[in-house]
Structure 1
């Protein structure tokens, strides 16, 4: 958990830790997370069914708007209902090269088998213990004279390197420029008579017989911004929008003087309904009159 947390503070990390939760109220990681300004939650599972306790955790995850569940030293089996709710968005790390040596006492099993290589695995969680699609692995050599403790120490080093990298890759599939462009493209091309072509090196969307109504910009002017550019009613509305939410809206280069507005897609969870509304509005402002009056 600490490795994931501190990696999240590095510039360019695509994920943010929004909650550290535990079934052990005295877990040391809770104090560490709190000291770094991360919200925490803890409740004992004693006296509760597995489903009831997982519902409590799920409620907290929903409350903070979590997109993923990342298990890090969480030693309880999860209920099938919880796993199903977070399918494809819940990960775990295990101190072996899965599918070998599932469960507990992994290092003892590796040494007892006389193996020369062990390691660690990050995988998506399924209802089966230490199962699910493998997202990444690191190999760790077993040295002569190794004990379970000495092997575990080196595997921990590998785990701390592997988990942040794999989580970043997983999250980037949803929040990276390619994934964001796919979402924008699907919404833009769903509009009547909409087509796409490159314009000045950026994907642009236009109406047949009309004008461009949107552009997708990913670090286009080396400003490090991924954004959607659409038409506002003019520079007055543009200024009002930027003043009301400068973290979301900005004045784009070149198109800004014409009243276009930039909507950032890289500052956190994207409100796709908001993006869809802006695309429709910009489409109407750009479409020929015969199309602009169409209901959709």
Structure 2
């Protein structure tokens, strides 16, 4: 019933799938984990918008040589028609695009860049959280030795200092325009106690504003230069690492402003594959990749 025995890609389906007819001028390449931490590299066509005809290739693993070998099965003439590929900062992804789609411009996904900055903010928060834990443990030990009750400081919103640092995690990922009333209060208390966290948060939101507000590569380049200066002044090592990463890839990052392309379609497609796989668990007789090929995603 599944015509599995006559499927042309049956022999290699566990390692790779290739649908050259789905290729288009604008592609995305990303990696995803389907089960047990196994990674797959997925190339999708943006024009399909996550529906039928989206999947161009799926290759087990993330080694550039393996992915290049599979994509090279598509004729050079067809691959030469690709004009743009969105990807993350991983070196293997850049190598795959350069080798397989030599005429395409590489666009590093803005959300990967922004995530680096917000991760740097979280690193600062976690550092202070560990300090608060040490202070609390020392206070408890001192209270035991003195036979006195340990009373942690309770802040205006009912949090202890340790709770404040833990519960601020999510608000630091969000833009301040989207904070709830309790998050506004918590952020005020956090920034009063830890101005370095506030400065880190402002740097992250400043980087985000460049992608949202700038209309051209030239304007964005000037704004990034000013942002670099702020990073140097702040003295935060985590943000200096972010700045160096951006400097290394700045040409591909600035290509975002050509068409404002992102890897959002690839992330959405990966989520659909995971959802489809989850719904297909327990189904026997038809391997997962064959079920996927019968689904509307291909």
Please report the TM-score for the alignment, with normalisation by the length of structure 1. Answer: 0.27
Which protein has the bigger strand share? Answer: 1
Q: Which has the higher contact order (CA 8 A, sep 6+)?
A: 2
